[in-house]
Structure 1
């Protein structure tokens, strides 16, 4: 597949629902800013009601060489995409309901041992900073996202790997089923 055809491509992978809440228009705007940097590839795996709109933006901006929508795939194929990714992209709108909780997808991304690049506010952004497992910019901040991408592209491979390892360690310490049961038992005893 085109975005995965060269080892030196920097793959920014989003996996999941491509809907309103994900605010992926801002990611396309960041791709537009970075369009001359051909090794940076945005891959949006999944489907949703905003997919066609985003594909039309890609055409309008002439981003067909750097932005890809391969479609939906079975969950068991996700490790193949995750392994090929340089970083995992997470994005949500700036809405109170999203800012007050840690989205499950952030936890899932941490469990994959890959650096996280997020465009979110609130608890999710704080978690990424606390775990030191990637970079977070404000929700909808496509300029900030493009700058974060440039920084990550310039990082030595080992630094990106360390981000991923820190995320996985944090996940295993705080979000595994066993950890959640222990936390619940402590809450019930108090």
Structure 2
């Protein structure tokens, strides 16, 4: 399970996630789960249907007391932030992911706080911004090496 959990808004790069899911739709045991609500959710649901992505599943916002269950279901989290937002926004979900001891793949600007944290502590994988092929490569790396995924 490849998961995004949190706001489904304008600052995250959900097109990257949907494009990666499209490239991996021939791998039925890799499922993309998007948990949360936000302005982009209807558009992403529509796009997933248009692309016939049966490997993308949406769930509503989860209250904090239930987050541990969705976090436990994830094999890896995707943390994204669109270009130009580093220094203005920090995806706070990273701290919950780290506290839960879950692996993540981050697709943010090189100068972002999450990338600095990831490089310094070697606690996740980094993907180039807006590069679905690089995201797919990292997902398959974890898929093929469960030891890396924790």
SS in 2 for 1:13: strand
Render the CA deviation track for 1:141-161: whole Å, top value 9, x for unaligned. Answer: 111101111111001x33321
Residues 87-126 of structure 1: matches in 2 within 5 Å? 87-95=76-84, 97-99=85-87, 102-121=90-109, 122-123=111-112, 124-126=114-116
Separation in structure 2 between the aligned mates of residue 22 and residue 73 of structure 1, nearest angstrom = 18
SS in 1 for 2:86: helix
Separation in structure 1 between the aligned mates of residue 51 and residue 91 of structure 2, nearest angstrom = 31
Is the helix fraction higher in 1 or 2?
Answer: 1
Separation in structure 1 between the aligned mates of residue 87 and residue 22 of structure 2, nearest angstrom = 27
> TM-score scaled by structure 1?
0.73
Does structure 1 residue 60 correspond to structure 2 residue 60?
A: no
Aligned length: 148
Does structure 1 residue 27 correspond to structure 2 residue 17?
A: yes
Residues 143-158 of structure 1: matches in 2 within 5 Å? 143-155=133-145, 157-158=146-147
Give the Å deviation of 1:117. Answer: 1.1
Render the CA deviation track for 1:65-87: whole Å, top value 9, x for unaligned. Answer: x1000111211111001111101
Long gaps (5+) in structure 1: 1-10, 162-190
> TM-score scaled by structure 2?
0.91
CA 1:76–1:50: 2 relative to 1, 3 Å: same
Give the Å deviation of 1:116. Answer: 0.9
Partners of 2:24 and 2:136 within 8 A in 1: yes
Separation in structure 2 between the aligned mates of residue 131 and residue 77 of structure 1, nearest angstrom = 28
CA 1:133–1:90: 2 relative to 1, 3 Å: same
Q: Which has the higher contact order (CA 8 A, sep 6+)?
A: 2
SS in 2 for 1:49: coil
Aligned to 1:139: 129
Separation in structure 2 between the aligned mates of residue 70 and residue 101 of structure 1, nearest angstrom = 24
